[in-house]
Amino acid sequence: MKSALVLVIVGWLCFACDPVWLPKPAGYNRIDLPSPAYQTLEGNYPYRMQLSTYSQVEPDSFNLKEKAWINLNYQDFGAKVHLTYKKIDDNTDFKTLSSDAFKLTAKHQIKAYGIEEAVLITPKGYAAVVAELTGEVPTQFQFFVTDSTTHFLRGALYFNTALKNDSLAPVIEYIKLDMAHLINSVEFDPKR
């Protein structure tokens, strides 16, 4: 009798609680973003700007002979902003540099859902072109700032990850605001 009672209780426990197993809903990791803070770029560059205190300035390892090319490494976010600088002179004209910048942005049309471009005038009176790319593209934000006679600075945001861009959306927006601050604070050295 006791064994039958134990069998009934065990059977009741096994079948009375019919768990419903549901897959875990898709979600994204929580990303805590710091409050924006800026500092002036230090070093012997033909430009000055305010950049995020959360980025580290590194020389661009792609082309070491270009001393004015730098990367802003957002190490905590796995992102880099590549900044390239060219002096406009007899060997390199504005039309070629701006055309190259537009071509580099247009290369992403294959995967981009959309590319929005805007022309701006910075507080220092420089022209800036900003391109925001949407979709699964390797660079979501590109820009250039120029005085159109002597200096040309181009920037592009890249991530070191293959995650979907919608999971990176808060970080992308955060860095885009940093880049807007950078663009508005660019000042070219008139002696160089």
Residues 64-116: pLDDT tens digits? 889 999 999 999 888 999 999 999 998 888 888 888 887 877 776 666 677 78
Residue 161 within any structural domain of the chain: yes
23 assigned to some structural domain: no
The pTM of the full predicted model, rounded to 2 decimals, is 0.79
Please answer whether residues 24 and 62 qualify as being in contact, where contact means their C-beta atoms are separated by less than 8 angstroms.
no
CA–chain centroid gap for 23, Å, is 32
Decide if 29 is inside a domain.
no
Q: Per the structure, how many domains does the chain have?
A: 1
Spell out where 8-150 has E strands: 38-40, 47-48, 50-52, 56-59, 70-74, 79-87, 112-121, 127-135, 141-146
Assigned domain for 33 exists: no
2 belongs to a structural domain:
no
Residue 142 belongs to domain with CATH number: 3.40.1000
* 37-75 tens-digit pLDDT: 999 999 999 999 999 999 999 998 888 889 999 999 999
Q: What sign does the dihedral 158-180-83-61 (CA atoms) show? A: negative
Position 89 in a domain? yes
Provide the domain limits for residue 55: 39-188
- Please report whether residue 32 resides in a domain: no
Helix, coil or strand: residue 173: helix
Query: Is 7 among the domain residues?
Result: no
For the stretch 144-165, pLDDT in tens is: 999 999 999 999 998 887 556 6
The residue written with tokens 């008139």 in the block is 190
